[in-house]
A and B are shown apart, each in its own frame.
Chain A
Amino acid sequence: MLRLAARRFGAMILIMAVVSFILFLIFETDKLAVAGKVLGPYSSLEQRELWLEREGYNRPFLVRYGEWVTDALRGDFGESIRFKAPVADLLWPRLANSAILAGLVFLLMIPLSLLLGVLAGMREGSLLDRGLSFLSILTTSVPEFASAAFLVALFVFELRWLPGTSAMTGGFDWSQLVLPVAVLVLYDFGYVARMTRASMAEVMTSHYIRTAILKGLPRHRVVLRHALRNALIAPFTVIVLQLNWLLSGVIVVEVFFAYKGFGALLYDAAMFGDIYLIEACTMVAVFVAVFSQFVSDVGYTLLNPRIRFAGSTVR
């Protein structure tokens, strides 16, 4: 068990190292282009070379990479070209904003999708089951920007209940969070609900559920004690891995609603060519994705006694 966690942790570190190297390779091999970005398109060649020399860019590639990594590990990602401020100072508040968004999404999505999925899976083929099945296909078919367009048309233009942007220029405002959260929940809940349903339906037809029923246990006990725990293992990993998908959705939603989050920062950086900011944002995004993979692997093992106690047999 510990060995497995350690190995997964090792894999995570290795992935992060390789990703960072690839990013550095992609963005900083062409030194003159970097200087051009920093000094602006009208800088002369001499200015650029002077800048490269001063910033230590003429040292060997691997040395520069090593220095970049050590700085990054200390939380120093360099200075944003566009905002003329340390990347770290830009990054953390934006991350906090996105965390609020993602946290609310999870808070709503998890109970909703688990509840619907379990109820539908318990009665395969029932009206609820077919209804949920169709609803989730429908909602997962509408991309975030499209459902944002629908919701804005309805709640902003037609009903005028909610603001159409979430820039929060006048301070924190809950009402500005409603639409972004709704868009993300709509797109994501269907997938988790369907996984839960499938898992629950499979468990309910398993032989050990038959054993439990034929033991004469009351139905609520069969469902709560025997079915639920086994049925929730698969959705757990799906939910954790959903973080990876959510990050993609967050970018779209933040751009659509002009919400000052991490996704919008990455997008702006990419559109502007703000190299150091792109590098930092990408590393953070990859870290979140890889870490969620790690949590999901370890959690799966913890939830599944067959893996947790693999090898220890009573003989």
Chain B
Amino acid sequence: MRAPPEEGPVLACEGLCVSYFTRAGEIPAVVDFDLRIAPGEAVGLVGESGCGKSTVALAIMRYLGRAGRIVAGRIRFRGRDLVPLGERELRRIRGARIGMIYQEPMASLNPSMKIGAQLLEVPLCHRNLRRGEARERALEMLARVGLPDTRRIFGSYPHQLSGGQQQRVVIAMALLADPDLLLLDEPTTALDVTIEAGILDLVGDISARFGTALLYISHNLGLIRRTCDRVAVMYAGEVVEEGGVEEVFGAMRHPYTQGLFDAVPLPGSDRATRPLRPIPGRLPLPQERPRGCVFGPRCAHFRAGICDRRQRMEALTGGRLQRVRCARHGEIRRPPRGRSTGPPEAREPGAVMLEVRGLDKEYAVGDGPFTLFTGDGRRRIRANRKLDLLAREGETLAIVGESGCGKSTFAKVLVGLEPATAGRIRFEGREVAAAPVEKRERELVARLQMIFQNPFETLNPSLTVGAQIARVVRKFGLARGREEVRRRVFELLELVKLPREFFWRRPRQLSGGQKQRIGIARAFAGDPKLVVADEPVSALDVSVQAAVVELLTDIQRRRRTTLLFISHDLSLVRYLADRVVVMYLGRIVEQGTAEAVFTPPYHPYTEALLSAVPVADPAVVTRRIILEGELPSALEPPSGCPFHTRCPRKAGALCEEREPPEQRFGADHRIACHLPAEELARGATVFRDAGLPGFP
């Protein structure tokens, strides 16, 4: 069925340059790009937003829109240059020999065509199959990508599937023509981490079985390490370093790659031993790129005379495949990283600031009471069920969980944006569960503040930065009179390390990280005792993320503020949290000190969640647990233990019938599970030190 393996690489990009032509003129997106992919090989392309990695994939597909153009170089696919090909010839390659998987599975499927019809097109168009045969093949492929009940899925519409199922359909569609190369553009970024793990495994299996070459495009270093043999790191349109994944991630030579690693939290290291280090400065706009080394302006190792010349890729000596675009790579050595030596310094627990008891939150989806004119019917979601938790002064309490677990709803209830349905919330001894924020006293409002997720929405685009912070200062009655208010605003800008000029700036002149800083300044204006931060950095690039996290925790520690940090990023939570609460479908399944939650005994869900996190550090070995099945809908949660539908350690019928009891392990560690305590305690740790030479 498959052509015998041919000589040479599947894909070879040689000196590829891609530019977009806009009203502002030519904008180079990819410069002097070289890449070879051997048959069956998996290569990763990693970099932050704006580095040109997606443009590479679209250029290979020759789909750059009307503004984009390949201005130089060649793209050889099986030895044949794709650049001069016309539409008709491209059609024989697209979808047939090169398949593509996209970031948003929902958007990539036609909403008004059944899955089956969309699948059938591929074999009908690329191989002269009869309809019946094509149908057989499509159904077979659906089964092969691990979808249940293939006939039903064949006859349904995309919106009837979950995100993970949709992505499996897209993968099946790409595989139907038996391609030589798959391009995966952030294939799991829109999915939850436990779903992601299943998809990555599937792609790996398929590639191994059919010898399909893979090009992974991602911002996630851990994902690249988990899936790829080789990696190319991109920055500002150029590849700055490439080589084997273990090589590059184990001993990176380019200062940018080093910067990326120093900016992400890794398991096995924490705040004390290895604080996150952001990359200074920001990505230059394409028209402002320096003439010499593109990373020069942000690089600590910049030397005039060497680095202000155009840099070329140079191979490392000593039999390695690694290549670096840095003239000083021979001189720069990465300082050895610190490694956790034991439990982090225990800090004095403060007074209880927040006490949540039996909190329930239900809300209706749909609309108003009289639904004739505005829309459709309503259903009730129990977003939070019987939440019990404590937070102490000066402590960072992290709430982790996947989408639909109710963590953001809890944040909204806490700050009074939504009223609680039942239960109590005591904040500084006052009952606030029933009080919407509009009914809370000014002083209480100032002491319980929130930082929001989306940097692009956190500021009112119509007002200047100064006006927005000044409004908070006035509103909380912290200062009167123009001069005094302005002085307070300047102090707050200083607190978040922004210059005074930002007072007169408009939100659209700010970068994402700067907007989040303003959000922090706003939240800390009234000297709050508790700050809720709902995914405050998840929309930011890693280098910016590090800076914002460091700033936030620094302010919080100095002021002994309680921080409620809501996140889906377990590495980050591990890095900064004192205590952790794990939620699943509206309930708390495990809580305790960070140390206790991240080591055995685990709740089976926490265990799977930890194992699903791809880790970039080659020194860490992860035990794999892949969850079967899909995340149940919050509208119809399973009976008994909410996790029983996916639990790999399910105890039996009991799990379906009864809600699990809360079991205590130690002073501050609770797990809600039917498994006996000794059984839970028997689990092994998820992360293990690989003990690679060269790492302490």
Measured between beta carbons, the chain A residues less than 8 angstroms from B372 are: 7, 10-11, 14
In the complex the two chains form, is A218's CB within 8 Å of B91's CB?
yes
The total of chain B residues at the interface (CB under 8 A) is 46
Task: Give chain A nearest CB distance to B255 CB in angstroms.
Answer: 36
In the complex the two chains form, is A213's CB within 8 Å of B108's CB?
no
Measured between beta carbons, the chain B residues less than 8 angstroms from A64 are: none
In the complex the two chains form, is B152's CB within 8 Å of A208's CB?
no
Q: Of A82-90, A172-180, A224-232, A269-277, which binds chain B?
A: A224-232
In the complex the two chains form, is B95's CB within 8 Å of A214's CB?
yes
Cβ-neighbour of A216 out of B95, B102, B109 (below 8 A)? B95
Q: Of A66-74, A95-103, A304-312, which binds chain B?
A: A304-312
The total of chain A residues at the interface (CB under 8 A) is 36
In the complex the two chains form, is B125's CB within 8 Å of A216's CB?
yes
Closest to A206 in B: B107
In the complex the two chains form, is B107's CB within 8 Å of A306's CB?
no
In the complex the two chains form, is A305's CB within 8 Å of B109's CB?
no
In the complex the two chains form, is B108's CB within 8 Å of A309's CB?
no
Measured between beta carbons, the chain B residues less than 8 angstroms from A312 are: 160
Measured between beta carbons, the chain A residues less than 8 angstroms from B66 are: 125
In the complex the two chains form, is A314's CB within 8 Å of B156's CB?
yes
B161 proximal to A (CB < 8 A): yes
Cβ-neighbour of A314 out of B94, B96, B125, B149 (below 8 A)? B149
In the complex the two chains form, is B173's CB within 8 Å of A226's CB?
no
In the complex the two chains form, is B110's CB within 8 Å of A214's CB?
no
A33 proximal to B (CB < 8 A): no
Among B63, B90, B157, max chain A CB count under 10 A is at B157
In the complex the two chains form, is A217's CB within 8 Å of B160's CB?
no
Known: A7-B371, A216-B125, A312-B160. A226 touches B153 (CB 8 A): no
Measured between beta carbons, the chain A residues less than 8 angstroms from B173 are: 211, 215
In the complex the two chains form, is A304's CB within 8 Å of B112's CB?
yes
Among B102, B121, B126, B161, max chain A CB count under 10 A is at B121
A160 proximal to B (CB < 8 A): no
A17 proximal to B (CB < 8 A): no
A315 proximal to B (CB < 8 A): yes
Closest to A315 in B: B630
CA distance A280 to B181 in the complex (A): 70
Known: A4-B376, A313-B633. A214 touches B156 (CB 8 A): no
CA distance A303 to B173 in the complex (A): 25
Please encode chain B, from 77 to 94, with 1 for each CB lying within 8 Å of some chain A CB and 0 for all others.
000000000010011111
A210 proximal to B (CB < 8 A): yes
Measured between beta carbons, the chain A residues less than 8 angstroms from B156 are: 309, 314
Task: Give chain B nearest CB distance to A125 CB in angstroms.
Answer: 8
CA distance A230 to B121 in the complex (A): 18
In the complex the two chains form, is B121's CB within 8 Å of A217's CB?
yes
Task: Give chain B nearest CB distance to A88 CB in angstroms.
Answer: 31
In the complex the two chains form, is A213's CB within 8 Å of B94's CB?
yes
In the complex the two chains form, is A216's CB within 8 Å of B126's CB?
yes
In the complex the two chains form, is B161's CB within 8 Å of A306's CB?
no
Known: A7-B372, A208-B107, A208-B109. A217 touches B91 (CB 8 A): yes
A234 proximal to B (CB < 8 A): no
Residues of A293-307 whose CB lies within 8 A of B: 303-306
In the complex the two chains form, is B63's CB within 8 Å of A213's CB?
yes
Task: Give chain A nearest CB distance to B331 CB in angstroms.
Answer: 44
Closest to B174 in A: A215
CA distance A164 to B290 in the complex (A): 72
B661 proximal to A (CB < 8 A): no
B350 proximal to A (CB < 8 A): no
In the complex the two chains form, is B111's CB within 8 Å of A216's CB?
no
A59 proximal to B (CB < 8 A): no
Please encode chain A, from 137 to 151, with 1 for each CB lying within 8 Å of some chain B CB and 0 for all others.
000000000000000
In the complex the two chains form, is B152's CB within 8 Å of A226's CB?
no
In the complex the two chains form, is A226's CB within 8 Å of B110's CB?
yes
In the complex the two chains form, is B112's CB within 8 Å of A305's CB?
yes
In the complex the two chains form, is A216's CB within 8 Å of B376's CB?
no
A207 proximal to B (CB < 8 A): yes
Measured between beta carbons, the chain A residues less than 8 angstroms from B143 are: none
In the complex the two chains form, is B121's CB within 8 Å of A211's CB?
no
In the complex the two chains form, is A305's CB within 8 Å of B96's CB?
no
In the complex the two chains form, is B159's CB within 8 Å of A212's CB?
no
Cβ-neighbour of B125 out of A11, A217, A306 (below 8 A)? A217
B32 proximal to A (CB < 8 A): no
Measured between beta carbons, the chain B residues less than 8 angstroms from A216 are: 90-96, 122, 125-126, 177
Task: Give chain A nearest CB distance to B401 CB in angstroms.
Answer: 19
CA distance A154 to B261 in the complex (A): 76
B55 proximal to A (CB < 8 A): no
A54 proximal to B (CB < 8 A): no
Measured between beta carbons, the chain A residues less than 8 angstroms from B539 are: none
Closest to A305 in B: B157
CA distance A303 to B111 in the complex (A): 11
CA distance A46 to B372 in the complex (A): 48
Task: Give chain A nearest CB distance to B86 CB in angstroms.
Answer: 12
B61 proximal to A (CB < 8 A): yes
Task: Give chain B nearest CB distance to A219 CB in angstroms.
Answer: 7
Measured between beta carbons, the chain B residues less than 8 angstroms from A207 are: 102, 104, 107-108
Measured between beta carbons, the chain A residues less than 8 angstroms from B87 are: 219
Measured between beta carbons, the chain B residues less than 8 angstroms from A4 are: 376
CA distance A313 to B362 in the complex (A): 22
In the complex the two chains form, is B159's CB within 8 Å of A314's CB?
no
Cβ-neighbour of B112 out of A3, A230, A315 (below 8 A)? A230
Task: Give chain A nearest CB distance to B226 CB in angstroms.
Answer: 26
Task: Give chain A nearest CB distance to B694 CB in angstroms.
Answer: 43
Residues of B367-395 whose CB lies within 8 A of A: 371-373, 376-377
B193 proximal to A (CB < 8 A): no
Task: Give chain B nearest CB distance to A166 CB in angstroms.
Answer: 39
Closest to A14 in B: B372
In the complex the two chains form, is B121's CB within 8 Å of A315's CB?
no
CA distance A6 to B630 in the complex (A): 34
Task: Give chain B nearest CB distance to A235 CB in angstroms.
Answer: 14
Closest to A212 in B: B110
Measured between beta carbons, the chain B residues less than 8 angstroms from A208 are: 107-111
In the complex the two chains form, is A229's CB within 8 Å of B112's CB?
yes
In the complex the two chains form, is A211's CB within 8 Å of B160's CB?
no
CA distance A3 to B87 in the complex (A): 47
Measured between beta carbons, the chain B residues less than 8 angstroms from A125 are: 66
Closest to A219 in B: B87
Known: A207-B104, A214-B63, A313-B160. A230 touches B91 (CB 8 A): no
In the complex the two chains form, is A210's CB within 8 Å of B63's CB?
yes
Measured between beta carbons, the chain A residues less than 8 angstroms from B165 are: 314
Closest to B111 in A: A306
CA distance A108 to B108 in the complex (A): 36
Task: Give chain B nearest CB distance to A152 CB in angstroms.
Answer: 43
Could you write out 6 A-B pairs with CB less than 8 Å apart? A208-B110, A211-B170, A216-B93, A216-B177, A314-B152, A314-B161
Closest 8 CB pairs of A and B: A216-B95, A215-B95, A207-B107, A216-B94, A208-B110, A305-B157, A11-B372, A216-B91
Q: Which A residues form the contact surface with B (CB < 8 A)?
A: 3-4, 7, 10-11, 14, 125, 206-208, 210-219, 221, 225-226, 229-230, 233, 303-306, 309-310, 312-315
Q: Other CB < 8 Å A-B pairs besides A11-B372, A306-B157, A309-B160, 6 of them?
A: A207-B104, A211-B170, A216-B90, A216-B92, A305-B111, A314-B165
